[in-house]
Amino acid sequence: MYALHYLRNLGFSVRVLETGEDVGGTWYWNRYPGARCDVASLEYSYQFSEELQQQWRWSEKYAAQAEILEYANHVADRFDLRRDIRFNTRVSAMHFIAANAGANNRGSGGGDNWRITADNGEIFQAQFCIMATGCLSSCNIPDFPGLDDFEGPLLHTGKWPHREVDFAGRRVGMIGTGSSAIQIAPLIAPQADSLTIFQRTASYSIPAHNATMDADHERTIKADYARFRAQNSQRYAALDNNPNSLSALEVSAAERESSYQQRWEAGGLPFLASFNDLATSLDANKTAAEFIRRKIRGIVKDPIVAELLCPQTVMGCKRLCVDSDYYQTFNRDNVSLVDVNACPIERITSAGLETAEKEYKFDILIMATGFDAMTGALLGIDIRGRQGLSLQEKWRHGPKNYLGLSVHGFPNFFTITGPGSPSVLANMIVAIEQHVEWIGDCLQQLRANSVSTIEASSQAEARWVRLVNKIANKTLFPSGCNSWYTGANIPGKPRIFMPYLGYPSYVEKCEQVASNGYHGFELRSL
Ligand code: NA7
């Protein structure tokens, strides 16, 4: 949405193709009960318009899905975006046609062009393509035997129905214990007859302590919103996380405890910034992990269930979850936890599912099984660059690109929050705005200098991939767990730590590249 607004203001003609029937992306699809952002509302919002950020009033510290969707609709109306968005349009193929490709290029205006095919057969042509397909938009539905046999509703959290789902008196089964499951469970449990949760890996979760928006806090931020944004943009992940510059190992046990306790009481993702070495020192990380496990044991009354809920992986290696009463939910009589490692799911049946030990009967089955993250949506489209090279082929062993923005062999093709950029390891809205402005300014430069194509050089791409890996390998994250950051949640997907760890240094690099004449890119003139 911001790309449309920004590029339109630069005088480009822009057409957006969107699968959904309306705006909102993630917040359009993930409409399950309890869906909520884990970044504070005053940060998880656009900063490109001072009037917008001053006038919009968030009702809660962390906004719920419905409110964020309302915001997206407001932005679409306010900036008159819908007239250039083609809804209900799924792109199935995108092929680069070079100017000298002769007959194939007929009707395209003569220059290099992308030919974009929608699944209804419609064809579009564009000089530039910007992929704003999202990092968590391609649902992962594990290939359980018998998947089609279940007779009741089988719902994925990432493609939740638009109608209200009635859980009253129903036996509900849910597979997965990631962020989505952690948000939905406390909402379903009080309504359902029973809720059975199948856990493969326990997650670390910090209480949100969500509340109605504190009017004084809102006033203080809005009195100088630009300063608040600027301060956050200099912080790790572009979040107001009050980073502690000390190591967890250089303070006394009492100080450490007190620091974790304060962060626990404040709630949310800033827990990760309790100390400066939680991502790099296993010993430091263990202190945080043990603190959370003690909290879980303090909340969950059944010691066997509590132990099962205690994660054993590196804290923060999977995205930290933020919850409202997730652990408390297991104190209800109608909620049970099944360890999928001890009793693997063998098949889905017409009436529920079977593990190695037992048959379960459900009226509703929920897949809270996450996404084919970061590359899934892109590789779901038949994208072909120069000489028919397909992106699937090029990324067979993992994503390769430059700055997370551009792929060698794919001219005039950009990825917003692509793999190799901070994306999911930053405040997404900030990361999106930064990419949109960088791409928009780049296109403006190309136009001003009559450059017809731009693409990453293969050398710059190789260097970038090495750098992304080198930085990741200095942390505990690539090896400390099986996370969607590395593709490990999808069978057969190459294991590569995909996001670039390091916001704001990443922004500086992007700016340097631009100010050095798009260093690392190949530019060709008409
Ligand atoms: P996640 O965080 O990827 O969670 C998916 C969950 O589903 C996780 O617990 C998985 O276990 C589980 N899962 C996936 N496949 C299976 C199979 N085959 N069997 C059993 N369990 C399975 O997705 P979410 O939607 O919760 O959250 C995604 C992001 O959205 C989140 O990080 C926030 O950024 C917002 P696993 O951990 O892989 O063992």
pLDDT of 518 = 98
181 close to ligand 1 (CB < 6 Angstrom)? yes
Report DSSP letters for 440-463, one per residue: HHHHHHHHHTTEEEEEE-HHHHHH
Residue 73: strand, helix, or coil: helix
Question: What's the gap in Å between 165 CA and the centre of ligand 1?
Answer: 21
Task: Give the residue among 411, 388, 419 at the shortest CA–CA distance from 518.
Answer: 411
Q: 244 and 256 in contact (C-beta within 8 Å)?
A: no
Report the alpha-carbon distance of residue 343 to residue 325 in Å, rounded.
26
CA 49 to chain CA centroid, nearest Å = 23
Separation of 4 CA from ligand 1 center, angstroms? 32
**E strand or H helix at 521:** strand 521-525
Ligand 1 atom at shortest distance from the alpha carbon of 180: 26
pLDDT in tens, 26-82: 999 999 999 999 999 999 999 999 999 999 999 999 999 999 999 999 999 999 999
The pLDDT of residue 262 is: 98
pLDDT at 19: 97
* CA end-to-end span of the chain: 30
CA of 180 to the centre of ligand 1 (A): 8
* Best residue among 489, 490, 493, 498 to mutate for probing ligand 1, ranked by most atoms within 8 Å of CB: 489
Mutate to test the pocket of ligand 1, among 179, 198, 424 (most ligand atoms within 8 A of CB): 179
Q: Which pLDDT value is given to residue 29?
A: 98
| Strand blocks (E) in 33-112 | 85-86, 91-97
pLDDT tens string, the chain, 526 residues long: the values are 999 999 999 999 999 999 999 999 999 999 999 999 999 999 999 999 999 999 999 999 999 999 999 999 999 999 999 999 999 999 999 999 998 765 444 444 468 999 999 999 999 999 999 999 999 999 999 999 999 999 999 999 999 999 999 999 999 999 999 999 999 999 999 999 999 999 999 999 999 999 999 999 999 999 999 999 999 999 989 999 999 999 999 999 999 999 999 999 999 999 999 999 999 999 999 999 999 999 999 999 999 999 999 999 999 999 999 999 999 999 999 999 999 999 999 999 999 999 999 999 999 999 999 999 999 999 999 999 999 999 999 999 999 999 999 999 999 999 999 999 999 999 999 999 999 999 999 999 999 999 999 999 999 999 999 999 999 999 999 988 999 999 999 999 999 999 999 999 999 999 999 999 999 999 999 7
**Per-residue pLDDT at 101:** 62
Nearest-10 crossing angle of helices 428-448, 2-9:
30
Q: What integer pLDDT is reported at residue 104 of this predicted model? A: 46
Tokens of 408: 């060698």
* Ligand 1 geometric centre to CA of 292 (Å): 20
How confident is the model over 115-130, as pLDDT tens digits? 999 999 999 999 999 9
How remote is the CA of residue 68 from the centroid of ligand 1, in Å?
23
Domain chopping of the chain, boundaries: 90-138+373-525, 147-367
Residue 147 DSSP label: G
Ligand 1 neighbour 322 (Cβ under 6 A): no
In the numeric block, the tokens 């994250």 are attached to: 477
Closest CA to 207 of 261, 158, 267: 267
Q: Which CATH class is domain 90-138+373-525?
A: alpha beta
Q: Ligand 1 pocket, 486 CB below 6 A?
A: no
Distance CA 394, CA 410 (A): 10
